[in-house]
Amino acid sequence: MTSPDLVPLRRALISVSDKTGLVELGQALAARGVHILSTGGSAQRLAEAGVPVTEVGDHTGFPEMMDGRVKTLHPRIHGGILARRDDEGHVAAMNAHDIPGIDLVVVNLYPFEATVAKGADFETCIENIDIGGPSLIRGAAKNHDFVAVVTDPSDYAPLLAELAAQDGQTTLGLRRHLAAKAYARTGAYDAAIGAWFANRLGQTWPESVTVSGTLRQTLRYGENPHQTAAFYVTGERRPGIATATQLQGKELSYNNLNDTDAAFELVAEFDRPAIAIIKHANPCGVAEGEDLPTAYARALACDPVSAFGGIIAANRTLDAATAEAIAKLFAEVVIAPDADEAARAVLASKKNLRVLLTGDLPNPAQAGTLIKTVAGGFLAQSRDDGRVQPSALKVVTKRAPTPKELADLLFAFRVGKHVKSNAIVYAKDLATVGIGAGQMSRVDSSRIAAIKSREAAEAAGLSEPGTKGSVVASDAFFPFADGLIAAAEAGVTAVIQPGGSMRDQEVIDAADERGLAMVFTGMRHFRH
């Protein structure tokens, strides 16, 4: 059978939860002589606006019942939607049972996701699971050869524009586009219900899982220009790049988004004013301070060369002094919960600088799921929400860390959680002074971090590198003593690491020989 390109729009069914644009749509359709069927609140809103409308119950001869659970589930509705107009048997059935064709279905679903997000009780969530709506949508989408289906108020304008351009008819191209969007919507809706049910049943990893997202932005390219890319949002209410408002600057790229997310998640780890500078998803400088300008200066001092072209994240409202310091450096993105008017004015002078404001900080201890695709599937794991507390530390050396060393150790370990493995972080006075990331050997990470610290000191005209008198954090255990020895040679006085190696005693002995304090966390922070 050949699908017709143009189909006249004579009858429409409208049943919407979100009534944005409903009256304007009804008026435009009525002006074209379209017969409108509707239900409940939608019919009432249209009638109040003077739009001629027929209640579905009057159309089917069957009243709405069971608190609205049964109203459109009727052959006179679904027959009118599903019948192929070019099939003699279908047409004969329509005539025999007095089933008028329905050429347009406008439905958006009960707000299940929003109801769950508000923390509603179990029964309220169940009542907000739409049944008739998905049935109407799927039926209309299946029969898109003859029926247009609209699930999003943003599509009202394109629909009306098409009717104006095609003398009251819809094209096959538009109907197919709307059908694809409709199936994506019902798929996402069912995925949300399935995820909610699994959560309520305590199923961390249910037998089947569906990941859904809504297109936020088609990106210029992916990690490299020959790769295509897009940014989808899931609806998770976590402050960050998905919730941010972009004040200024060029369009965000794939790498911008990835690095900015890493920066903001890291800076949220700290309670005091803090700055994190990120390059290629790894921190090149992190510091706490009494205020943001102090934290920024100390974070930048860790590795000013790598900071060029980086991402800057703050965990406080940006002020003018911090903005002025940032403006002196070429940066790709600045992200913060907010910025005062003076800071906004300063940053506005850097027209290409992307400035994102999120309104809040993500909670590092909040549970969540991380997903990574692999050939033929994907890996899912819980978010690394582990946060080591002082009471959990085990002193394994003859010397215990001083209170100052302990504060720096905890700071360094929190930073290390956000550094690609193998990760080594040197810190002093709550600021990083050397970072080694992503090396295949842990000793190489120790040496690279020390080299970068030495180079930064030489560039700043300092007499000794920041690693002298610092502490060191390792994201996983030292498999041999060589990594710890390299750190000791760089000048550290204390060490924090998970422990658990077959050679732990060898590493402890090396620390004791050099007068170092070392604590075990019992928690690893691999990040690949």
Q: Is 392 helix (H, G, I), strand (E, B) or coil?
A: helix
Neighbours of 286 (CB within 10 A): 32
Contacts of 121 (CB under 8 A, 6+ apart): none
- Looking at the domain assignment, is residue 207 inside a domain? no
Closest CA to 129 of 118, 153, 113: 113
What's the pLDDT score for residue 59? Answer: 85
Mean pLDDT of 55-79: 77
State whether 403 and 515 are in the same domain.
yes
Mean pLDDT of 261-278: 97
State whether 153 and 24 are in the same domain.
yes
Contacts of 77 (CB under 8 A, 6+ apart): 13, 37, 56, 59, 60, 102, 136
Specify which residues 472 forms β-bridges with: 426, 495
| Confidence tier at 94 by pLDDT (50, 70, 90) | confident
Residue 79 has pLDDT above 60, yes or no: yes
Which structural domain, as residue segments, surrounds residue 501?
386-520
What's the pLDDT score for residue 319? Answer: 97
**In 201-333, alpha helices (H):** 254-267, 292-302, 304-307, 320-327
Residue 65 has pLDDT above 80, yes or no: no
Token pair listed for 192: 């949300």
**H/E stretch holding 224:** none
Distances (CA, A) of 282 to 235, 259, 443: 26, 8, 18
| Confidence tier at 28 by pLDDT (50, 70, 90) | very high
What's the pLDDT score for residue 77? Answer: 87
118: left (phi over 0), alpha (psi -120 to 50) or beta: alpha
State whether 391 and 253 are in the same domain.
no
CATH number at 428 reads 3.40.140.20
- Looking at the domain assignment, is residue 81 inside a domain? yes
The beta strand positions in 30-118, using DSSP E, are 35-38, 54-55, 104-108
How far apart (Å, rounded) are the C-alpha atoms in residues 170 and 156? 13
**What's the whole-number average pLDDT of the chain?**
93
Neighbours of 80 (CB within 10 A): 23
| Confidence tier at 1 by pLDDT (50, 70, 90) | low
Active-site residue list: 142, 280
**H/E stretch holding 330:** none
What's the pLDDT score for residue 87? Answer: 86
Contacts of 394 (CB under 8 A, 6+ apart): 499, 519, 520, 521, 522
Q: What share of the chain is helix, strand, coil (3-state, %, to 5)?
A: 40, 20, 40
What's the pLDDT score for residue 78? Answer: 86
Please state the domain count of the chain: 3
DSSP code at position 420: P
What's the pLDDT score for residue 320? Answer: 97
**Over pLDDT 90: what percentage of the chain?**
84
Residue 24 has pLDDT above 90, yes or no: yes
State whether 88 and 25 are in the same domain.
yes
Closest CA to 104 of 5, 1, 4, 7: 7
Neighbours of 266 (CB within 10 A): 24
State whether 47 and 188 are in the same domain.
yes
- Looking at the domain assignment, is residue 97 inside a domain? yes
State whether 172 and 58 are in the same domain.
yes
Specify which residues 285 forms β-bridges with: 277
Q: Are the CB atoms for 465 and 491 separated by under 8 Å?
A: yes
What's the pLDDT score for residue 58? Answer: 81
Per-residue pLDDT tens over the stretch 361-407: 999 999 889 999 999 999 999 999 999 999 999 999 999 999 999 99
- Looking at the domain assignment, is residue 364 inside a domain? no
State whether 510 and 396 are in the same domain.
yes
- Looking at the domain assignment, is residue 116 inside a domain? yes
Last residue of one domain, picked from the residues 149, 181, 201: 201
How far apart (Å, rounded) are the C-alpha atoms in residues 445 and 441? 7
- Looking at the domain assignment, is residue 213 inside a domain? no
What's the pLDDT score for residue 522? Answer: 95
Per-residue pLDDT tens over the stretch 272-319: 999 999 999 999 999 999 999 999 999 999 999 999 999 999 999 999
CATH number at 62 reads 3.40.50.1380
| Confidence tier at 211 by pLDDT (50, 70, 90) | confident
| Confidence tier at 68 by pLDDT (50, 70, 90) | low
Residue 420 has pLDDT above 90, yes or no: yes
- Looking at the domain assignment, is residue 308 inside a domain? yes
State whether 446 and 401 are in the same domain.
yes
In the numeric block, the tokens 């050396």 are attached to 397
- Looking at the domain assignment, is residue 380 inside a domain? no
State whether 27 and 135 are in the same domain.
yes
How far apart (Å, rounded) are the C-alpha atoms in residues 11 and 33? 9
Q: Are the CB atoms for 144 and 175 separated by under 8 Å?
A: yes
What's the pLDDT score for residue 57? Answer: 81
* pTM, 2 dp: 0.86
State whether 169 and 43 are in the same domain.
yes
State whether 195 and 325 are in the same domain.
no
Q: Are the CB atoms for 178 and 99 separated by under 8 Å?
A: no
State whether 61 and 161 are in the same domain.
yes
What's the pLDDT score for residue 41? Answer: 87
Distances (CA, A) of 311 to 220, 290, 326, 332, 439: 19, 21, 10, 6, 22
